Structure 1
Amino acid sequence: MNHVPGSSVAVAASGAAADAVEAHLGSLVEQKFASRLFAQDHTLWGSAAEEESAKRLSWVGLARSSRPLVGEIAAIRDDMSSRGLDHVVLCGMGGSSLAPEVICATAGVPLTVLDSSQPDMVRAAVADRLDRTVVVVSSKSGSTVETDSQRRVYEKAFTDAGIDPAERIVVVTDPGSPLDEEARSAGYRVVNADPQVGGRYSALTAFGLVPSGLAGADVEALLDEAEAVTDVLAADDDANPALRLGAALGGTSPLRNKIVILAAGSPIVGFADWAEQLIAESTGKDGTGLLPVVVGSDQDPEVRWPADDVLLVRLVDDEDESPAADGEASVSVAGALGAQLLLWEAATAVAGRLLGINPFDQPDVESAKQAARDLLSGGAGGGEAPAFTDGSVEVRALGGDGGWLGEAKTVDDALRALLDQLRHHGYVAVMAYLDRIADAALADVRVPLALATERPVTFGWGPRFLHSTGQYHKGGAPEGVYLQITTTPREDLPVPGRDFTLGDFIAAQAGGDAKVLAEHGRPVLRLHLTDHDEGLAQIMEAVSALRGGGAGR
């Protein structure tokens, strides 16, 4: 590993990744990219990106500028403890929820992350220890519909239980946002975040620190870890780990755009999920970008069958580094959590420069949101009629070249028809608009799909992934095929003060996402469970019945 004296991060590259570092490191140093980045030079990504980057670079100094939050968080936690409140729920999406999830899991402290509009999941969260619950409502814009809906449901639950919501809800938002003004007028405690930081770079802002600190994580130590590497990451020299990692990610030639991320000894829990949204949403646009593929073990197909469009990233512990195989295109990364949060943010900015894109916008996330709003306002969240129904599963096919479903009459046939659309250098994306806690076993379909296709397979829970890989699906290279799974909730849940239910909303989100994918020419297979348990078993059985054929390889 390439350790920098005084640094708690290390990066080692091999094969094509090492070639990329050698090809780009010298020019990055010569251009003083690192020092200019940490001086918040908004011209680094070209003129088209300047307006956005000019208001998105304060994250480089958060290790120091976020220090006042430590005392503020401690005061809120002391107040919670004095009232016997020990259950922290975070309502947030994307960058507002994924960083606290990793921070708390790594620290071994409990945090309930509610980043879904699925009615059954929301109801289960609200029913859990309400009398001991503090809810952190996190939304940068203050207008995120998922988070607003979750807040309204909790407000009603507290009120119905005779509890003043203002005593239990802590709001994290940008100053002056609609949520900021509404929460203050309602008497809620509000913590403002740095408005000059985008959501996915916000791990060390109030969005990452407030819920984590209230749950019991040592956020001061996290900032210490980040501060220990700030000067190292800002240095214009060949040893800079952010320059090396960024060059390996974004500088391979030809581009290895599937970034397979494997936890291989790292003590950080769930880091790949946070890195996934940072990388995919930052780079997946203009027909290019990097698609993170989170795998579970070194026995997963994407690791055992390395392809020429795959870069393997191992998250390792210094004392337990997995050596790269001869000629393997891979990167190994080690370091403390706070240090790695800043490292990967800086490396993503480097990769964006090499890819020639703006790493701070997310144009296709907004297009899917608008499509969902259109469907919701039109009362047509369910979308088009099914092509056919097989047992407890309604089957719909969109996008692609049209007519690709062919003569399929069963779920098995429909799956094979979708996978037949997979081409060389393609990937499969599974998008499940289900309860990611109760239905966690569904994620197991990822491996058999990868075995059947010999291609990378991603798995995302909706609507969570819409703030992550959802951007890449539409804005990245047009290589994917998409399997969407939706369900009829066991019991719907009204959104207080709104004219829609959570069931309406998540159906509109799924329908809007599929619609935009289809408009981009992506083939989408929509499988809707009319009976949750029977339909889910039917899909898992159909996936298990697939046999390897190397589709698209």
Structure 2
Amino acid sequence: MMRACGAEGPTEYNPGLELGAALGVLARQGRDKLTLVVPENLSDFGLWLEQLVAESTGKQGTGILPLAGDPLSAPAMYGSDRVFVHVSYENQPDEENRQKVAALQAAGHPTITILLRDALDLGAEFFRWEVATAVASAVLGINPFDQPNVQAAKTATNRLMEVVEQQGQLPQTSAPVTSENGLDYYASVSGTSAEAVLKAFFGQAKPGDYLCVQAYLMETPALNAELDALRVLVQQRLHLATAAGYGPRFLHSTGQYHKGGPDTGLFLQLTTDHPQDLPLPGRPYTFGTFQNAQAAGDLQALQDYGRRTLRVHLGSGNTEAGLAELLKRLKQVLV
């Protein structure tokens, strides 16, 4: 792969150049949502790809948004902002994904298929995608090797932590727009009920937009299932691309794209209290306080860049139950 992607090889047989040129041209045509389709045993490859592509290309108001773990639906559910890349093993069962990708291709959506012989091919795949990302960035006219907007959330968080160092706690935030059934809703949109706030927030969506769920929660299988259900609901009801990530991890992967990429995101931030908190060694605050500051800092940075945001605080009770309540509300609102 290194030789094939190198300068000494013929350009017509350069796998990195071919992939990167295709992704860059498609992004310039409006197909900037890179939807990765992989079997379960390659799911972590998607998390690596998220950071590589989003942080490299998401700047100067442009970029390619990689979507890992986006549940595949029928072709009619997708708009003209998608490109699908199917990565799979040659000799391992992945028939369901193959059939769905074939249906997407038959419906006119651009699809790219990459077949690996075995797990040892992953090293070569890393190299291919690194070259492809650099090539796509060149097509988009951006520098893939800087991260000009990553610092914004860090700076906002540091300001909050200075307050904690001086006062022992985070500064008070503005009051929620509304509170219902244990959930607090913080938004720039108006509304006197949870239904009104959710309608106003999702009513801002336009074709080509995407929903990003930023979960500052402790990851569990149950929460993963509920987040998947939320993504499917939004995709089916609004035909929006959806992304989801656990904070603060995503700050160092897709965080650059959220603030430096195109203004096409709706950001749903989920936070919770920390009844079982731990002190942070050598600091006068806890891990929970630090995580809350990271969430608040990123939310402030998103708002400073004019992004559409909604924070839902799930309270101090059962997090899964709080997210289930939000899902229940969304099913009533998104019709």
Match of 1:489 in 2: 274
1:255 aligns with 2:39: no
CA distance in 2 between counterparts of 1:315 and 1:413 reads: 41
TM-score (norm 2): 0.86
What amino acid is aligned across from residue 511 of structure 1 in structure 2?
A: A
CA distance in 2 between counterparts of 1:532 and 1:231 reads: 55
Distance 1:314 1:290, change over 3 A: same
Match runs of 1:311-326 below 5 Å: 311-318=83-90, 323=102, 324-325=105-106
**Farther-moved stretch of structure 1 (303-312 vs 329-338):** 303-312
CA distance in 1 between counterparts of 2:334 and 2:327 reads: 14
> Which of 465, 470, 485 is the matching residue for 2:255?
470
CA distance in 1 between counterparts of 2:136 and 2:171 reads: 37
Alpha carbons 1:285, 1:475 under 8 Å: kept: yes
Equivalent residues, number? 310
Deviation at 1:267, TM superposition (A): 5.3
Match runs of 1:533-548 below 5 Å: 533=318, 534-548=321-335
Distance 1:429 1:346, change over 3 A: same
SS in 1 for 2:48: helix
Larger radius of gyration: 1
CA deviation string 1:46-72 (max 9, x = no partner): xxxxxxxxxxxxxxxxxxxxxxxxxxx
Match runs of 1:411-430 below 5 Å: 412-430=195-213
Match of 1:268 in 2: 42
> Which of 356, 370, 379 is the matching residue for 2:141?
356
What is the aligned-residue identity percentage?
37
CA deviation string 1:1-29 (max 9, x = no partner): xxxxxxxxxxxxxxxxxxxxxxxxxxxxx
Deviation at 1:373, TM superposition (A): 1.0
Match of 2:111 in 1: 330
Alpha carbons 1:266, 1:315 under 8 Å: kept: no
CA deviation string 1:69-115 (max 9, x = no partner): xxxxxxxxxxxxxxxxxxxxxxxxxxxxxxxxxxxxxxxxxxxxxxx
SS in 2 for 1:489: coil
Match runs of 1:30-179 below 5 Å: none
> Which of 3, 6, 12 is the matching residue for 1:238?
12
Alpha carbons 1:281, 1:362 under 8 Å: kept: yes
Alpha carbons 1:382, 1:511 under 8 Å: kept: no
Match of 1:433 in 2: 216
> Which of 445, 450, 469 is the matching residue for 2:235?
450
CA distance in 1 between counterparts of 2:197 and 2:143 reads: 37
> Which of 384, 391, 396 is the matching residue for 2:174?
384
> Which of 48, 57, 64 is the matching residue for 1:283?
57
Match of 1:225 in 2: none
1:520 aligns with 2:305: yes
Match of 1:307 in 2: 79
Deviation at 1:521, TM superposition (A): 0.9
CA distance in 1 between counterparts of 2:68 and 2:76 reads: 14
Match of 1:407 in 2: 191
Distance 1:537 1:269, change over 3 A: closer
TM-score (norm 1): 0.53
Match of 2:317 in 1: 532
CA distance in 2 between counterparts of 1:364 and 1:257 reads: 19
Alpha carbons 2:62, 2:261 under 8 Å: kept: yes
CA distance in 2 between counterparts of 1:293 and 1:230 reads: 26
